[in-house]
Amino acid sequence: MKHTRIIVTHYGGPDALQVVEEERPEPKDGEVRVRVLAAGVSLPDLMAREGFHPETPKVPFTPGWDLVGLVERLGNGVSGFELGQVVAALPISGAYAEYACLPQRELVPVPPGLDPAEAVSLVLNYITAYQMLHRSARVSPGQRVLIHGAAGGVGTALLQLGRLAGLTMYGTCSAPSASVVSDLGGIAIDYRTQDFVQEIHRLTGVGVDVVFDGIGGPHIWRSRRAIRSGGKVVAYGLTSSLQAGRSAPGRGGGRRRFREIRIFALYLAGSWLLPGRKRVVPYSIQWLKRMKPAVFREDLVTLLGLLQQQRIKPLVAQRLPLTEARHAHEVLGKGGLTGKLVLVNN
């Protein structure tokens, strides 16, 4: 039986995404075949397509960090899962497909009745937000935090989870997104017309306790200026390497997984040489998952419980068919989305 998947044929723009029809994959020993219901579209997907994310596979490859789907077939030796059960996973690549075969250890059961598009938002975006808040920054009620890109997928997750944690939150965003940030409990700062460093010091007097920076590059140093003495910047992204969804000018072509991470490391090291007791802490969801898989599973189960209890409500920006993956990359590259962009299979 045939199925559809998306492949990146070469490193480059959205035109590198192609729709292919091929035989459904068969699960190996210890694997489960999952019929994908929802796959997230994220900036790391765009970076991998361009060739510079640290997790970039060799071409051709199927992108897609996160998925929610139905258990459709069990490989030999698999136990603990039933046909038709809903599961979630963070495969890092391979989610843009109708079917995917994944090791049993990668799958986390999803409570019945949840919207797959909302549930898939937890796997990358909300895990990132939750772990940065509670495992990297170790926030406590009453602390003040600044969230860059506060209307995006990770940003809205940070706002919702930060409100549950009792934080005072500030968020950079564009003017049209200010109401979204305010509705989620944050104080909006228009990054186009306001200097966020000056605004934070005007609003707080001494700076915030934590800044969550997914932009990277020299922006880390500016974020550092917005924290108080003894505060920290949690640095988790490299989106400054993208301009309108494409590699920034001068970044070159091809697969260059480690160039950006070396630059990122230089900025991190440089920040420690600057005066003041201000730490910059890197966060990587994939490395924490690899080193502490039980912690990843525990945190995802916690978040699924919060979703089931309706204590969080992921914002789904758009739901697009799998075959419109190229259009999804174009939409995400233009920016301005509120929440998570999701590919769905009917």
134 and 254 in a single domain? The answer is: yes
135 and 279 in a single domain? The answer is: yes
162 and 40 in a single domain? The answer is: no
Over the stretch 282-332, which tens digit does the pLDDT of each residue have? 999 999 999 999 999 999 999 999 999 999 999 999 999 999 999 999 999
Over the stretch 142-153, which tens digit does the pLDDT of each residue have? 999 999 999 999
What separation in angstroms does the CA of 166 have from each of 137, 154, 158, 185, 292? 14, 18, 12, 10, 27
How far is C-alpha 61 from the chain's CA centre?
Answer: 19
What separation in angstroms does the CA of 294 have from each of 136, 159, 235? 17, 25, 23
CB 112 within 8 A of CB 71: no
Q: Specify the length of the chain in residues.
A: 346
Q: Quick one: pLDDT band at residue 271, thresholds 50, 70, 90?
A: low
pTM (two decimals)? 0.93
Structural domain boundaries enclosing 205: 124-287
149 and 282 in a single domain? The answer is: yes
CATH classification of the domain holding 262: 3.40.50.720
78 and 192 in a single domain? The answer is: no
Higher pLDDT, 28 or 274: 28
Burial of 10 (0-12, 13-18, 19+ CB in 10 A): middle
Alpha helix (H) residue ranges in the chain: 43-50, 116-121, 127-131, 153-164, 178-183, 196-204, 219-224, 259-273, 285-291, 293-308, 325-334
140 and 281 in a single domain? The answer is: yes
Residue 241 has pLDDT above 90, yes or no: no
